[in-house]
Amino acid sequence: MDLFFPNIAYASLDSFVLNVENLIIDPLIKFLFALAVVYFLYGVFQFLANQENEEKKTAGKQHMLYGVIGITIMMGVWFILDVILRTINIPSSDIDPKTGRVRLNDYTPTPP
């Protein structure tokens, strides 16, 4: 028994950030995207089910609008990330999010 020198597991900052991204951020983004879609569909249902009640119909329109805004924001995030990766010539097949590694081409400078 080692009372004065306990075994401590050390992790690097890179592995911590990668785990936070894989275990918290990615599922959160997927959950928010799904929530925006469900909110939009709820608005559609509310709009169609309450054709005679103008207040509930207006509320359904607002829910659809907010759902579309949420979906647009999520798609915008993916679009911006894709533009950045294409700008620096990194195809998505060269990215391994599970290990956090990006395979880059060798750099060969050309003479001026």
Q: Give pLDDT < 50 ranges for the chain.
A: none
Q: Which domain holds residue 54?
A: 13-92
pLDDT in tens, 27-56: 877 888 899 999 999 999 999 999 999 999
DSSP state of 102: E
6 within some domain: no
Number of domains in the chain: 1
Distance CA 35, CA 63 (A): 12
pTM of the model: 0.59
Has residue 31 been placed in a domain? Answer: yes
Q: How many CB atoms lie within 10 A of CB 68?
A: 15
Whether 1 maps to a domain, the answer reads no
> DSSP secondary structure string, 31-50?
HHHHHHHHHHHHHHHHHHHT
**Residue 110 falls inside a structural domain:** no
Residue 40 near residue 69 (C-beta atoms within 8 A): no
Query: Distance between CA atoms of 23 and 98, rounded to whole angstroms?
Result: 10
